[in-house]
Structure 1
């Protein structure tokens, strides 16, 4: 897939966040025909957050599909020179696997982390796990019957409330994962990527997953849950996993699919990450 640059429909005098989205999967064909690729979906989601920001922000998105074994292209280090931020999408793949493209992506991320000190990193689901894995976290897999699926309550600590700019004790987002981050990365686990004494914070947890996202001021803000899923996406993404045999508990899958229509805080999460990208946290 060729490079695709998307620009928000916003006045040119707006402050602009330049974001590279690394697509690590493709959505269900029906979702793709209705809403576009994951990069396009996220672009429009962040563009809406930019419109709502005070003052409004513009969003420029450079999207790359990076699964090289399926026709993607891994960007080079120098292609990130004009990017403020990087976001990695969700994926069917395991972040700790030895797929060649995943190893290549990890190598690129490490290079950017070391030599692009002002770049801000974010990831959703697989992207969250991959960034934590890069910094030394263990990625484990829940039993096949114990996926965290659909509309889920995420309890916020003080850091989470500050990031999401809310005094509520929780947010609600859609989940779609079996793998999870066991514990946040540490300076000791990071192989030199984090300075001694650096503490990566967890901002929230659910009953299923203790690490729903991590935060390091000025560098890292991730989320296990998805920002931009709508009801149709929830149902189609679950069905894809049932059809592939990944999800074995069909009753659990059916119950989770029915929660796709419930109101969620994807806009709140997108606004929080956008503020982070805009050097506000």
Structure 2
């Protein structure tokens, strides 16, 4: 079933960011019963970031579940006419795969990219990888036993420190991926989607993954890590992948689950992406 729900978090006089979330997976049933779909979870996460922003920002979130083979619906480009921002969620699917809905989503991204030159694109995990693929990056798979899981340190570049508005050289976020972006896209790899001279930067790296996210001024800000995961979500999502057979190193999975309760910088990441959506300058 396709989710087409508009959620609004505004107050009189607040500027409003209008975001479309494309859901490319469904959370664990217990997570969904407690916190909602991935789109709803992200909405509330960004709403908190909007409340904490100075001055406060409102957030309107429209969601679409887009896996058409499982009852979803791929939206049409005109449905984004009033959106400043698009975010693609994480997924158990491979961003380098060629499932029909993935190819349809890539086609939609191209149409939106060309039709809406001021739209801001973001993605989490699968969404990060798919946007990089869209712009010509190679997406590869690590060994089945080589997942980046749980609470992880991400080393920030000077750009990353500016984006996250921190003087510290690192942030900590929850990870859950085997696939990774080999290198950031380039003007040449994008097939004319990026104008000559466009600067594409990786804002951070970890010991496991060289590209933890990319940034293109006014266009793209992605993150390999999950900014909205809480302790219960981390444990349940790991268990889903263990039960499904994709995570094969059970000791690694257990160690990662034990880190689920550790403090992380998801609120800092949400605030950074919200500022990007609001088209605020980097200082």
Q: If the TM-score is normalised by the length of the shorter chain, which range does it land in? A: over 0.9
Q: State the 1:13 CA deviation.
A: 1.8
Superposed CA deviations along residues 42-83 of structure 1, whole A, max 9, x for unmatched, are 000000000000000000000000000010000000000000
Question: For residues 187 and 269 of structure 1, what CA distance do their matches in structure 2 show?
Answer: 26
Which stretch shows the higher mean deviation, 189-198 or 79-88? Answer: 189-198
Q: State the 1:197 CA deviation.
A: 2.2
Q: Secondary structure at the match of 2:212?
A: coil
Q: Secondary structure at the match of 2:211?
A: coil
Q: Secondary structure at the match of 2:259?
A: helix
- C-alpha RMSD over aligned residues: 0.6
Partner of 1:11: 11
Equivalent residues in 2 for 1:128-139, closer than 5 Å: 128-139=128-139
Equivalent residues in 2 for 1:78-227, closer than 5 Å: 78-227=78-227
Partner of 1:234: 234
Question: For residues 85 and 66 of structure 1, what CA distance do their matches in structure 2 show?
Answer: 17
Question: For residues 2 and 46 of structure 1, what CA distance do their matches in structure 2 show?
Answer: 19
Equivalent residues in 2 for 1:37-48, closer than 5 Å: 37-48=37-48
- Relative to structure 1, is the Cα distance of residues 71 and 200 closer, same or farther in structure 2, using a 3 angstrom cutoff? same
Question: For residues 15 and 196 of structure 1, what CA distance do their matches in structure 2 show?
Answer: 33
Q: State the 1:93 CA deviation.
A: 0.3
Question: For residues 236 and 2 of structure 1, what CA distance do their matches in structure 2 show?
Answer: 22
Question: For residues 130 and 110 of structure 1, what CA distance do their matches in structure 2 show?
Answer: 12
Q: State the 1:186 CA deviation.
A: 0.2
Superposed CA deviations along residues 209-258 of structure 1, whole A, max 9, x for unmatched, are 00000000000000000011000000000000000000000000000001
Which stretch shows the higher mean deviation, 10-19 or 141-150? Answer: 10-19
Question: For residues 67 and 166 of structure 1, what CA distance do their matches in structure 2 show?
Answer: 37
Given the two structures, how large is their TM-score scaled by the length of structure 1?
A: 0.99
Q: State the 1:140 CA deviation.
A: 0.3
Q: Secondary structure at the match of 2:62?
A: strand
Q: Secondary structure at the match of 1:175?
A: strand
How many aligned positions are there?
280
Q: State the 1:199 CA deviation.
A: 2.1
Q: State the 1:30 CA deviation.
A: 0.3
- Unpaired stretches in structure 2, ≥5 consecutive residues: none
Which aligned segments of 4 or more residues in structure 1 are displaced greater than 3 angstroms?
none
Question: For residues 228 and 198 of structure 1, what CA distance do their matches in structure 2 show?
Answer: 30
Question: For residues 169 and 202 of structure 2, what CA distance do their matches in structure 1 show?
Answer: 15
Q: Secondary structure at the match of 2:153?
A: strand
- Relative to structure 1, is the Cα distance of residues 250 and 121 closer, same or farther in structure 2, using a 3 angstrom cutoff? same
Superposed CA deviations along residues 82-113 of structure 1, whole A, max 9, x for unmatched, are 00100000000001101000000000001111
